[in-house]
Amino acid sequence: MAFSPEEIERYARHIVLRDVGGPGQQKLKAASVLVVGAGGLGAPVLLYLAAAGVGRIVLVDDDEVSLSNLQRQVIHRTDDIGRPKVESARAMVAALNPHVAMELHRTRLTAENALALISGVDVVVDGSDNFATRYLVSDACALARRPLVTAALGTFDATLTTLRPHESGPDGLPNPTYRCLFPEPPPPGTVAPCAEAGVLGALAGIAGSLAALEVIRAIVGFGEGLVGRLLMIDALSMRFETLTYAYDPDNPLTGENPRITNLSEHA
């Protein structure tokens, strides 16, 4: 997969970068990534994956741009209000890097479409804003044997981790699943949505940029990723901390007696 002269200049800072170089940039160009959500987290993910030269980005989002989105969803503009987010995101990606192919799905990720969408890409990144979608995406990625980078925003806090439960760790045990980290979602009503609680706009940029970095790591294969580690960001104290978590043999997805073998419970 040869680069044009324009691509060589565009990606020059990657090509001269140790641990990326020409071979790494080729991997990025050949890669496909599914991005779930074009909101606060998905916006910087999309921009940085496009800037990095990921060859094909598949975007799933059923929402339209609203004025309140623009405080943090930097891929959209004031003129995009009322426009489907997938369309405004595609326009911005095209303006940033015309070498990136965008595949749009103006729909929600559901139990009916998740496996087909996820099986068609190399890496998945989840920037959704609700627990139902996070559990659906993580279960589907485990079943489809695809790596998942998943991030979540609070008011002044954010978390990020990478999941590869279809692979084993250095100890020979399977890597943990999302359900090893969070066995069950919180009871309904215990976590207020950002429309009620608020969210710090720049925090979405930090967490989304780190999610994009994890995706690039997964594609190129450098550094130590966040498999088995939960990165926690506290914007009030400006602290980054890491929690280590491990495979739980009682988890219902990849445990010793799995009960989740399809997505029927998400239907």
**pLDDT averaged over every residue in the chain:** 95
pLDDT at 63: 96
Domains (range + CATH), the chain: 31-266 (3.40.50.720)
pLDDT digit string (tens) for 204-226?
999 999 999 999 999 999 999 99
Stated pTM of the model: 0.96
pLDDT digit string (tens) for 88-98?
999 999 999 99
Q: CA nearest 99: which of 234, 227, 1, 7?
A: 7
Give CA–CA dist 91/198, Å, rounded: 28
pLDDT at 127 over 80: yes
Give exposure, 40-52, as e/b (b: 16+ Cβ within 10 Å).
bbbbbbbbbbbbb
Q: In the predicted model, what is the mean pLDDT of residues 154-180?
A: 94
Give exposure, 120-136, as e/b (b: 16+ Cβ within 10 Å).
ebbbbbbbbbeeebbbb
Give CA–CA dist 209/43, Å, rounded: 9
Name every residue whose Cβ is closer than 8 Å to that of residue 184 and which is 6 or more positions away in sequence: none
Directed axis angle between helix 42-52 and helix 201-220, to 10°? 40
pLDDT at 190 over 80: no
- Confidence grade of residue 267 (pLDDT, cut at 50, 70, 90): confident
Q: In the predicted model, what is the mean pLDDT of residues 102-121?
A: 97
Give CA–CA dist 154/191, Å, rounded: 9
pLDDT digit string (tens) for 66-77?
999 999 999 999
Give CA–CA dist 186/141, Å, rounded: 21
SS3 213: helix
pLDDT at 102: 98
- Confidence grade of residue 191 (pLDDT, cut at 50, 70, 90): confident
pLDDT digit string (tens) for 34-86?
999 999 999 999 999 999 999 999 999 999 999 999 999 999 999 999 999 99
